[in-house]
Amino acid sequence: MISGFDYGTSNCAIGIINADSSTTSLLPLEQQHNFLPSTVYALGRELICEQVARQIPDASIRSLYVKSRAAGLNRASKFRREESIGAKEQSLYFGREAFSQYFSLPGEGYFVKSAKSFLGASGVRAEFIHFFEDIVTVMMQQIKQRAEQQCQQQLTHTVIGRPVNFQGINAAKSNSQALDILKVSAERAGFKSVEFLYEPIAAGLDFEKQLTVDKKVLVVDIGGGTSDCAMVQMGPGHRHRDDRTADFIGHSGERIGGNDFDIQLAANCLMPLMGMKSVLKNGLPMPTQTFWNAVATNDVGAQAQFNKLETSLLLQQLLRDTSEPQLLQRFLKLRDNRQNQQVVSSAEQTKIKLSTVSQSLVELDYIEDSLSCQVSFAQMRHAVQRPLKKMINLMGETIKQAGSLPDLIYITGGSAKSPLIREAIEQRLGNIEVVDGDHFGSVANGLTLWAQRIYS
């Protein structure tokens, strides 16, 4: 059976073609939810490759994998013995369950959110590539199994969405690395055939079903980790063509998305409570790089630096030098308890609330009793100006490639729900009609339609 697989930075979804062969459905992946947050929590990092090995359905692929991960599998067995974790005891959690486990015991276990952000990271060693493969594989295995339980059929062929660029640096090499990881992971999860399609184009295919006349549409897909734009000629005169290459007349993308809003909001509005904007005894401002590293949860290098011994030594020195040690003590506690992901999650929830209210109370009592602060919509607007400008510039680049303005703008992706996005689009492009799509389902539905086209 064919499927469309949206392996997203924030959420994952999978779609199939309905029995009437003309409509798509997204399959429930977590209770009644069609979207599974892109999160994994393991009792121990070593147990992730063990889970992958157990659930690779193809015997030959499993055999090769076991040989390549022999050392990791030995560490997993040792970890189970030392921690008295039974062979059949649940050791990995996904989606909302993963969040729940992490929030209850952030200093324990191993939590990964938005692994897609890491896939094209530059200059990483082979062992990191292998670990990225394992994270993606274990999530794909879980999603595929849940989807097959819902539709009661084996999913064998899939189209996976991809951003225009996974990273901004060394884009071609980065894209190649990321696609290799996704393809290997999908095959280990049990898919027999795997193809890729640009996410903004997939979103456009889903929207095209609604058009009764031909239009030139600027598709703006703003996800958790990437923003992508595509100028597409679509409508009844285009939708039945087998080759749509000529209809895609401009595209651009960058590794900038909703996660960057969360990071900027966390740094500018929450980190000051932990000493980021405090003053040293000599009158100089507090160095800020370590605070940025803490909240840059989508940056492999920043996270590695944040966890290094030299950072511990630096913070101890800053504790002696600061004029407000009580603030930095909070930051030390956050680091010791590995709560930086939780702070960014608090920023994300604040961002969501500020889409409908002018002010929101952020409670940080998991760091210190009664610790909280108010954040306003105006503060958020100021905090996210840099990533917002980059997103809007992508639209200008796509329009320049196409050589003409669009007839309408179609915006989709979870992060596109922010009123800041629409406000910035209208300021940049004036009176062109802006249409909101299915912010979470359009890419998965479009991928499924494309899967039907190429596999049927």
Q: Tell me, yes or no, whether 376 and 403 share the same domain.
A: no
pLDDT score recorded for residue 456? 84
Q: Judge whether residue 122 has pLDDT over 90.
A: no
Considering the entire predicted model, what is its pTM? 0.90
| Residues 76 and 179 occupy one common structural domain | yes
Check residue 22 and give its pLDDT: 72
Q: Taking the chain, what is the end-to-end CA distance rounded to the nearest angstrom?
A: 10
Over 90: is that where the pLDDT of 106 sits?
Answer: no
Asked whether the predicted pLDDT for residue 155 surpasses 80, the reply is yes
Q: How many domains does the chain have?
A: 3
pLDDT at 437: 82
Q: Render pLDDT for 264-309 as a digit per residue (tens, 0 to 9).
A: 999 999 999 999 999 999 999 999 999 999 999 999 889 999 999 9
Assess if residue 298 is contained within a domain: yes
Residue 118 has pLDDT above 80, yes or no: yes
Q: How many whole angstroms separate alpha carbon 120 and alpha carbon 404?
A: 32
pLDDT of 20 strictly over 80: no
Q: With 0-12 CB in 10 A as exposed, 13-18 as middle and 19+ as buried, what is 157?
A: middle
Element (H, E) at 228: strand 227-234
Contact 136, 185 (CB under 8 A): yes
Q: What is the pLDDT of residues 227-262, one digit of tens each?
A: 999 999 999 999 888 788 899 999 999 999 999 999
Q: What is the pLDDT of residue 257?
A: 93
Quick one: 123 and 170 in the same domain? yes
| pLDDT average, residue stretch 372-376 | 97
Token duo for residue 229: 């734009």
One-letter amino acid of 56 = I
Residue 289 lies in a domain: yes
In terms of C-beta density within 10 A (0-12 exposed, 13-18 middle, 19 or more buried), how is residue 376 classed? middle
Q: Identify whether residues 354 and 417 lie together within a single domain.
A: no
Give a yes or no: residue 418 inside a domain: yes
The CA distance from 379 to 123, in Å, is: 35
Whether residue 432 is found in the same domain as residue 347: no
Write down the H helix ranges in 11-69: 47-55, 59-68
54 sits in the region (left: phi over 0; alpha: psi -120 to 50; else beta) called: alpha
Query: Does 205 fall in a domain?
Result: no
Of 350, 368, 384, the residue at which a domain comes to its end is 384
183 and 49 belong to one structural domain: yes
Does 27 share its domain with 74?
yes
Question: Is residue 304 one of the residues assigned to a domain?
Answer: yes
Over 90: is that where the pLDDT of 47 sits? yes
227 contacts 391 by C-beta, under 8 angstroms = yes
Would you state the structure tokens that stand for residue 390, as one six-digit string? 């980059």
On the question of pLDDT at 66 being above 80, the answer is yes
- Percentage of the chain with pLDDT > 90? 84
Domain assignment of residue 235, given as a range = 213-256+386-436
Confidence of residue 170 (pLDDT cuts 50, 70, 90): confident
Report pLDDT for 414.
86
- Residue 197 resides in a domain: no
**Coarse DSSP helix, strand, coil percentages of the chain, rounded to the nearest 5 percent:** 50, 20, 30
Can you tell me the mean pLDDT for 173-194?
A: 96
Q: How many residues does the chain have?
A: 456
pLDDT tens for residues 302-334?
A: 999 999 999 999 999 999 999 999 999 999 999
Q: In whole angstroms, give the CA distance from residue 49 to residue 198.
A: 29
Specify whether 101 is located in the same domain as 249. Answer: no
Residue 12 covered by a domain = yes
Is residue 140 scored above 90 in pLDDT? yes
Domain end among 159, 191, 223:
191
Answer whether residue 80 shows pLDDT above 80: yes
Burial class (CB in 10 A: 0-12, 13-18, 19+), 431: exposed
In the block, residue with structure tokens 């011994």: 309
Residue 206 to residue 445: CA distance in whole angstroms: 6
DSSP H or E run through 135: helix 126-151
* d(C-alpha 292, C-alpha 30), whole Å: 33
User: For the residues of 157-186, what is the DSSP string, one character each?
Assistant: EEEEEE-S-S-SSSHHHHHHHHHHHHHHHH
pLDDT of residue 169: 72
User: Do 159 and 106 share a domain, yes or no?
Assistant: yes
Same domain flag for 182 and 43: yes
- The answer, yes or no, to whether residue 91 has pLDDT greater than 80, is yes
Task: Outline where 28-110 has alpha helix (H).
Answer: 47-55, 59-68, 70-83, 96-104
Say if 370 falls within a structural domain. Answer: yes
Q: In whole angstroms, how far apart are CA 19 and each of 1, 16, 180? A: 12, 9, 33
- 341, 310, 168, 338 alpha-carbon torsion, rounded to 10°: -10
Domain closes at, from 384, 405, 421: 384
* pLDDT recorded at residue 18: 86
- Mean pLDDT, the chain, rounded, equals 94
At 430, the pLDDT band (50, 70, 90 cuts) reads: confident
| 75 and 32 fall within a common domain | yes
Q: Are residues 142 and 270 in the same domain?
A: no
**Domain at 76, CATH number:** 3.30.420.40
